[in-house]
Amino acid sequence: MSEKLSQPHKLSWQELGEYRQDQAGKIRELTARFGRVVPVTMVGIPLYLISEPEIIRELLVRHPDELHKDRFTAHVFRRMLGDGLLTAEDAKWSRQRKLIQPIFHAGHIQDFADTFTALAGEMCERWPVGATLQLEKEMMALTLSIICRTMFSEEIAGQIEQIEKHLEVIVAEAQKQLDFGLRIPSWLPLPTYRRQNKAIAGISDLLRQIIQKRQAQLAQGREVPADLLTMLLTARYEDGQPMAEEQVLHECLTIFFAGHETTAVSLTWCWTLLLQHPAILARLTAEVSGVLGDRPVRYDDLAQLPYLSQVIKETLRLYPPAAAIAREVMQPFEAGGFQFKAKETLIVSIDTLHHQADFFPEPDQFNPDRFGPEQAQPGRYTYMPFGAGSRICVGNAFATLEMQMVLATMVQQLQLALLPGQQFGPAQLITLKPQDGVQIKVESKRLA
């Protein structure tokens, strides 16, 4: 039974250290102790840790206008990505969301399925039998190549390595800024800002050249690829106006980050789990082989690959890419019997939500059958790997399809193994990653 709090729980210095070291684990511990809504103070800052589905629904559906992304995190991400869909608020966000959401409709993104399959197949061909590989690094390279191809077609093919280097610096410096824990003005000449600014300028200059070239081609009425960049440039607001060039750049940066980092991490976790559970991997391999034989996976095959989808859903339950959603209260309101005051921070813990035995029996077990057709499916605010409400991830259908096509291709073509002696605890960085990486060995190739 949970302890009753008469006032917010003040985190001790020891608890603060535990929180910084393992945020997801500490929130789970506090939830088990105090319940699904835990008021706490952290160095004098008032917070609520929330994992109650009905209150989450109220926050994200009934009160989105009273909530903004917390200022500290928003500051770090705005420096990194500009004022794109991920960082915009209020009317600016609403206008951008209406414009961009149709681009990521399932009817559009299914046209990219063959690209996902082809690039995954090329990666499998490059991996030599007997090679030892860093799985997350390989998945990052694959998903970056997928984003580059689907956004810019072939125009950027020779510059992917440079883009990868820029992104590594941008994300690494953003992580340092988040770890520091205090908002520091961007104009200060800090080394972290200088390194990040140089990388941002490098990737922005490259993207501007491609955007301007495509704009000129469209203005001249020339034939252009039907990729994400063309969709962004030809989309129109309700008043008939296109996006400004700088806004297109910010959205491209946002898609670059959100569209490859999270998917790469999810694929890394998926393979880590499968290789630790050989019976599940064998069942998945049998399903994929039975449907595909030795031909590449196609979009139309997915309806015949239900266990593939179950494996991905269960991976996202155990390791949601974003373990928590942080929101700052802009105007006071009441939800679920709690009075939330202006400037308080609300942390919706997706990780805690996904690990509650009331919703998911034996929650720490990797069990794709819990998403089987004969099982009652979890509610929208009980299982939410891509968030929920009006700000649910706009690219969730894109990411899901990408994972399906990539995983099916890899299972069909490769036999992999984990190197012995590894530990796979999660580390809450910008995304929820394996703390020490994952080393794999290519045992054999199923298709020659």
pLDDT (tens, 9 = 90+) of the chain, 448 residues, equals 556 666 899 999 999 888 888 888 899 999 999 999 999 998 888 999 999 999 999 999 999 889 998 888 888 889 888 999 999 998 999 999 999 999 998 888 999 999 999 999 999 999 999 999 999 999 999 999 999 999 998 767 678 888 888 888 988 888 888 877 667 777 777 888 899 999 999 999 999 999 999 999 999 999 999 999 999 999 999 999 999 999 999 999 999 888 888 999 999 999 999 999 999 999 999 999 999 999 999 999 999 999 999 999 999 999 998 889 999 999 999 998 899 999 999 999 999 999 999 999 999 999 999 999 999 889 999 999 999 999 999 999 999 999 999 999 999 999 999 999 998 877 766 677 788 889 999 999 887 5
Task: Report the C-alpha gap between 11 and 8 in whole angstroms.
Answer: 9
Structure confidence at residue 400 (pLDDT)? 97
* Residue of 210, 207, 180 lying closest to 82 (CA atoms): 207
Structure confidence at residue 435 (pLDDT)? 80
Task: Report the C-alpha gap between 320 and 263 in whole angstroms.
Answer: 10
Task: Report the C-alpha gap between 137 and 268 in whole angstroms.
Answer: 9
Structure confidence at residue 1 (pLDDT)? 52
CA-to-CA separations, 302 to 142, 281, 308, 328, 377, in angstroms, rounded: 21, 17, 8, 40, 19
* Residue of 388, 427, 426, 395 lying closest to 97 (CA atoms): 395
Find all residues with CB under 8 Å of 372, minimum gap 6, and list them: 306, 310
Task: Report the C-alpha gap between 58 and 64 in whole angstroms.
Answer: 9
- Half-sphere exposure at residue 205, Cβ-oriented, CA atoms within 13 angstroms: 8
* Residue of 135, 141, 120 lying closest to 413 (CA atoms): 120
Structure confidence at residue 242 (pLDDT)? 96
In a 10 Å sphere around its CB, with 0-12 CB exposed, 13-18 middle and 19+ buried, how is residue 118 labelled? Answer: middle
The CATH code of the domain at 51-445 is 1.10.630.10
Structure confidence at residue 223 (pLDDT)? 94
Structure confidence at residue 6 (pLDDT)? 65
Q: Can you read off the two tokens belonging to residue 293?
A: 């034989």
Task: Report the C-alpha gap between 79 and 194 in whole angstroms.
Answer: 12
